[in-house]
Amino acid sequence: MNELRQLARVRDEQLAGQASGAGARALLAAIVAEEPSTEDAGSRAPRSRRTRRLVVGLVATAALAIAAVMGPTLLKRDATSYANTAIDIELQGDEYVARIKDPFADHALYAEAFQAMGLDIGMELIPVSPTQVGGIVRMGFAGTTMDDKLGGNLEPDGCAFGHEGCFLTVTVSKGFKGRGVFYLGRPAKSGEKYQAFGQAGRKGEMLEGYDADGRTVGKVVAEAHRRGLQVVFQIIEPSPDGNGFGMSRDQSAEVGDHWYVWAAEPEQVGTVRLLVTEKHLRKNPVTGE
């Protein structure tokens, strides 16, 4: 069994305090202690080979103990796997595969695991609507090459997160040399607003199969209520050419049933956000169609 691989799984908190324990102090004393002597160098008796082997062995043992206490930094070069309470990482062929065990963990635990594998990767899991769970919704790179790749998905492909055996996973190409920061979609807690979302009418989203674009507010609200959803409004202002839009500075206007909906977006669990204007438009400013 690869001893370095096993050592890479040792975590700081598992060894907390051991470096200053009685055994460690005794070991350190055995390595460095030397009796004062009044003999000159020429009159000292040479140490036996057995003594020298013992000292070398103690030094090697101390070095491994110190490396373990200091954590993955000293061991990462040859590590092929690492695990903590939030994530498991394993080298599989030409890529590292990271399986998320706790999608709500402090993101520092994810960075710790990637660092243990010699990777400068920062990762944060953010609340997203159902169709975005498991996907990388934002990312940034520095000092990377064309061969450096990141990916995110559910494993096995197509599984439903929350069911037994379904994991959020991240893949990183072997030899990733640059720095990467990315955000992976996780299920939202109750009351959390989505930080990324798919259109509400998509399969798997809250208005699945329903096209709200261009319909009146009254009709879309009725459909949302039929599905047990709450509705919030966002008033938009189309650009002069009809391609694109901005958010109205005045969101206090009372939206009537005769207003028009140009997009329906998931807001949070159980709530859909409707992008609306009071007047009908010849072109949808959200889609440009």
**pLDDT tens string 259-284:** 999 999 999 999 999 999 999 999 99
pLDDT at 40: 43
196/217 Cα distance (integer angstroms): 24
Q: Which two tokens stand for residue 229?
A: 């959803």
Q: Phi and psi dihedrals of 282, rounded to 5?
A: -75, -25
pLDDT score at 79: 83
Give residue-wise pLDDT tens across range 46-96: 444 444 443 444 444 443 343 333 344 434 556 899 999 999 999 999 999
| Residue 71: predicted pLDDT | 41
- The two three-digit tokens of residue 107, written as one number: 């993101």
Q: What is the 3-state secondary structure (H, E, C) of 175-222?
A: CCCCEEEEEEEEECCCCCECCECCCCCCCCCCCCCCCCCCCEHHHHHH
Q: For residue 9, with 0-12 CB atoms within 10 Å meaning exposed, 13-18 middle and 19 or more buried, which class applies? A: middle
Between these two residues, 223 and 136, which has the higher pLDDT value?
Answer: 223
Q: What are the tens digits of pLDDT across the range 51-64?
A: 444 344 444 444 33
Greatest mean pLDDT among 23-37, 168-182, 216-230, 235-249 lies in 216-230
| Paired residues of 172 in beta bridges | 96, 150
What average pLDDT does the segment 171-186 reach? 90
What is the average per-residue pLDDT within 187-208? 95
- Tally Cβ neighbours within 10 Å of residue 98: 27
pLDDT at 125: 94
pLDDT of 1 strictly over 60: no
Burial of 195 (0-12, 13-18, 19+ CB in 10 A): middle
Mean pLDDT of the chain: 79
Six-digit token string for 268: 């949070």
Residues whose CB falls within 8 Å of the CB of residue 58, separated by 6 or more in sequence, listed in order: 27, 30, 31
CA distance 84 to 14: 11
Q: What is the pLDDT of residue 78?
A: 66
**40-54, 122-136, 142-156, 209-223: range with highest mean pLDDT:** 209-223
- Percentage, residues of the chain above pLDDT 90: 52
Pair 100, 125: CB distance under 8 Å: yes
Name the 3-class secondary structure at 80.
coil
pLDDT at 185: 93
Bridging pattern class, strands 87-92 and 81-83: antiparallel
Q: Mark out the alpha helices in 71-186 (DSSP H runs).
A: 107-116
The pLDDT, as a whole number, for residue 149 is: 87
Average pLDDT over residues 212-231: 98
> For position 24, what pLDDT does the model report?
44
For residue 142, is pLDDT > 80?
yes
Token duo for residue 115: 């660092």
Domain ranges of the chain: 3-74, 81-187, 199-289
Q: Which amino acid type is present at position 165?
A: G
The amino acid at 172: V
More confident residue, 15 or 133: 133
